[in-house]
Amino acid sequence: MTIYAAENRKESRGAHARDDFTERDDINWRKHTLVWSDGVAEHPRIDFRPVCATTLDMDEIQPVPPAKRVY
């Protein structure tokens, strides 16, 4: 499932890192990838859900903005 999800994304991010797309793309790909397989289909179904950009309790914890990982 991770390989199908990574192949579908046209960017590099975490487990979806790709050599042909070296940079992350927050504009188009800041979303969670969901993958389902019924065990029969040749290719699984891929869908997305939005990333929560805020914390549940803004009084106590401030959200962390997205940033490129650099080591």
Tens digit of pLDDT per residue, the chain (71 long)? Answer: 888 888 888 998 877 778 899 888 989 999 999 999 888 767 799 999 999 888 877 678 888 888 877 77
pTM value?
A: 0.72
42 within domain boundaries = yes
Residue 45 located in a structural domain: yes
Q: Which two tokens stand for residue 15?
A: 């487990």
Tokens 């040749």 -> residue: 42
pLDDT of residue 31: 93
Residue 6 lies in a domain: yes
Please state, in angstroms and rounded to a whole number, the distance separating the CA atoms of residues 67 and 32. Answer: 16
pLDDT value of position 36? 92
pLDDT at 40: 75
Q: What is the pLDDT of residue 48?
A: 96
Can you read off the two tokens belonging to residue 51?
């990333």
Is 35 domain-assigned? yes
- Per the structure, the complete domain to which residue 44 belongs is given by 2-50
